[in-house]
Chains A and B, each alone.
Chain A
Amino acid sequence: MDKIKYKFKIATDPFNPYREIEKWEINNQMAAMSIFIGRVREINQFGSQLKQLEIHHYSGLTEKLIEKHLSEITKKIESFSALVIHRVGFIDPLEPIVLIAVRADKRGIANQYCSEILEVTKFKVPFWKKEWTDTGSSWVKNNTVLST
């Protein structure tokens, strides 16, 4: 039986990334796994205390673009499987926004595609962030760039 190579889910409620990985791992054991868990920052883009983050998406297109990207990876890399979960709606500081777990038979592949999929969720698919503080709200204009 063919293994399911990838799973993408929009989460409208809080999720436990470790529980999700555990469930995913049952049928997807390989030698290497890379995980990225992104959480809501406590400070907004202007340095103020963040009350909540609101995430919007384009239902239908968001799923389609991520799944297309994951599908393209599976055509190139046989020993690859991925779990991607992205929150939408209102999220409290330090709650998970995004989970990316990539399994492969080599650490290099797992690391590379975990990072690549994250950049895709940031720049290539329709998600938008709005930051709420005690004094109002503001849309995030530019995403953070990849840095060390």
Chain B
Amino acid sequence: MKNNASQIKVLLFAELSEKYGWDEKYLSLDLIEDKKAKSILKYININVAHQSIIVAINKEISSLEATVKDNDEVAFMPIFTGG
């Protein structure tokens, strides 16, 4: 299924990954009507405040309003706490 052109790869990190019990999923983009990152978040049932989520698309920092394309890698991340 990984090679299906209509799929996207969704990643969760750190606390999000632990809380929801997975770190990587492949989804059909056809399931997301407006193709926006925030709608993917809703589809995968991640219920957290939008201001506490950082989005990256294809390893570029993006936003929940961004539109996702086939084969994109979409990452949802909690606030960074490194250093």
Contact = CB atoms under 8 A, between A and B. Distances in A.
Interface of A: 38, 55-58, 60-61, 64-65, 86, 97-98, 118-119, 121-130, 139-143
A50 to B, nearest CB: 15
A142 B59 contact: no
Contact of A56 (B13, B56, B61, B75): B13
Main secondary structure of the interface of B (DSSP, over half): mixed
Nearest to A97: B83
Contacts, number: 73
Contacts of A97: 83
B83 A118 contact: yes
Contact of A143 (B56, B61, B81): B81
A126 B83 contact: no
B12 to A, nearest CB: 11
28 contacts: A38-B83, A55-B82, A58-B11, A58-B59, A58-B75, A97-B83, A98-B82, A98-B83, A123-B83, A125-B80, A126-B13, A126-B80, A126-B82, A127-B80, A127-B81, A128-B13, A128-B15, A128-B80, A128-B81, A130-B15, A139-B78, A139-B81, A142-B79, A142-B81, A143-B79, A143-B80, A143-B82, A143-B83
B15 A139 contact: yes
B13 A129 contact: no
Nearest to A61: B59
B63 to A, nearest CB: 15
Interface bracket on B: 10 to 19
A124 B59 contact: no
Main secondary structure of the interface of A (DSSP, over half): mixed
Nearest to B56: A61
A72 B61 CA distance: 17
A124 B81 CA distance: 9
A128 B75 contact: no
Contacts of B15: 128, 130, 139
Contacts of A139: 14-15, 18, 78, 81
B59 A128 contact: no
